[in-house]
Amino acid sequence: MDEDDTARTGDDAERTGADGPLAGYLVVDLSRALAGPHAGMMLADLGARVIKVEAPGRGDESRGWGPPFVGPDDQPVSTYFMSCNRNKESVTADLKSDDGRELLTRLVARADVLIENFRTGVLDRLGFDVERLHEINPGLVVLSITGFGHDGPEAGRAGYDQIGQGEAGLMSVTGEPGSPSKVGVPIADLLAGMYGASGLLAALLERERTGRGRVVRTSLLASVVGVHAFQGTRWTVAGEVPEPTGNHHAAIAPYGLFHTGDGALQVAVGSEAQWRAFADVVGIDPDDPRFATNADRVGHRDELIAEIEAAMADAPAHRWLARIDAAGIACGKVRTIDEVYEWDQTRSQGLLVDVEHPLLGQVQLPGPPVRFDGGDGRRHSAPPVLGQHDASVRAWLDEP
């Protein structure tokens, strides 16, 4: 970016009232559904101006994902869409038309970042391959998210979250033995967005040195493999194929969910010193040969769980939580989603934000998970209605 471009994007930040570490950066978000939009929302939360380009008439397909829908019957609003599009502007454009291609060209010329999650080759066929994008703007950083990678023998496959969770092995280690299970949120999509955003930030830092943008690529497959953690090295190093262990840790014991006299709680015993303290609380001999070391406890996990739950059956969960916490052992409840958002600790962390929606009025949204000392001054805005900023964005592009 030259000096004039930097000054211009700073003016853009003032125009939209954005603040935060990425104030002054412009992101063009061509993505739909969740992975790309989540990455764009992360950048928007950090202060970037994010312009979401959507198909006229229908927009991002997640606008139709529900129930639940809220708002007027003739303009129902998807709560799914609202989960991943705060702090963005929406413009509509048919990228197969001359007008749509002209609009995208003008946006790319001013942008720092472009996000897309089309199938491999789609953007090329629209006339915006990487070479063309960098011809328009040599400093542009592009994030491309696919289902299974942009190359390789299965690059052309469509990717949705649950397909990614299954193909990338996550379902095989989740749930109860013999019953593969998906995670309760679209974690493959979310992780792809997070990895993509971190790659974008690194590429923007690199551009400060080189003046050139580059393409950042990730996929649902890559994002899940990237979080295999110890389950991955169990196979690559030890040659073991991991299996699901339900609500208990595969390599640490006791570590998981236990039933008490009136409900469940969770306990995480992470060291031998913690084991001895926990064993004292529940009345188990810490030197019992079945349980003396972590390896012993993992090998006799079912027996250990049975003994712990037999001890816990004589008192309600809240009493056991107090006793275990007093012993310095990590423990906790299993909260429902509504309980999480009503919890004072959640609210104290800024994890709920109030926004004004054009159709719904004031609503609360889950807030950004990153905070900065001194505050970032970000004024959050509601996810946009389709085409809400058509006029304002085009007027801005027409400014001298």
Residue carrying the six token digits 């050139």: 212
- Provide CB contacts within 8 A for 304, sequence distance 6+: 253, 254, 290, 291, 297
**How far, in Å, CA of 39 to CA of 190, rounded?**
8
Q: How far is CA 178 from the centre of its chain?
A: 28
Q: 246: number of CA atoms within 13 Å, CB side?
A: 13
- The verdict on whether 189 is a catalytic residue reads yes
**How far, in Å, CA of 363 to CA of 383, rounded?**
11
Q: Catalytic one among 19, 60, 189, 344? A: 189
214-218 CB contacts, 8 Å cutoff, 24+ apart: 214/141, 214/142, 215/130, 215/141, 215/142, 215/143, 215/144, 216/141, 216/142, 216/143, 216/144, 217/143, 217/144, 217/145, 217/146, 217/149, 217/150, 218/143, 218/144, 218/145, 218/192
- Calculate the alpha carbon distances from 327 to 140, 268, 274, 304 in Å: 54, 12, 8, 19
Q: Is 86 helix (H, G, I), strand (E, B) or coil?
A: coil
Report the catalytic residues.
189
